Amino acid sequence: MNKTLKNILAVVTGIIGGMIVNMGIIQISAMIIPPPEGADITSSEGLRASMDLFGPKHFIFPFLAHALGTFAGALIAGLIAANNKMWFALAIGCFFLLGGISSVFLIPSPLWYNLLDLILAYIPFALLAGAIAQRRKSV
């Protein structure tokens, strides 16, 4: 396959794969750690209105969704990429970081969580995925 096409496929597949992992974790999170009583998590308006009801435990799964979604997407992109595997993994990490930054402005959450999420969930997990992808052969 042409290297350019393979690299485009790596980015598209990495983004889609990362989003699937992210949303899958978010979907199961309420079954494992139920939202606080009275919190409406079905809409962003409801989430904004009830954010003061959330405790630290309620931020575990959003963090995991962001970190593992980024990791999965970056790993997929890195494994598929024809060359520059780390670069493609980091590109996916930056894509998801932009999503994380936008969520900081859209959904008010505690500063400690925003900092933890933005600093630890995206680029470090993309770097880890890129390092793993560099050690393995291309798909």
5-17 pLDDT, tens digit each? 999 999 999 999 9
The domain in which residue 126 lies consists of: 3-135
Checking if the pLDDT of 19 tops 80, the result is yes
Q: Would you say residue 78 has pLDDT above 60?
A: yes
Q: Is-contact 100 117, C-beta < 8 A?
A: yes
Report the distance separating Cα 85 and Cα 78, nearest Å: 4
Taking CA atoms, 133 is separated from 46, 76, 121, in Å, by 39, 8, 18
Q: Model pTM?
A: 0.92
Q: Are 97 and 67 within 8 A, CB to CB?
A: no
HSE value, Cβ hemisphere, 13 Å, CA-based, for 100: 26
Number of domain units in the chain = 1
Q: What's the pLDDT at 137?
A: 65
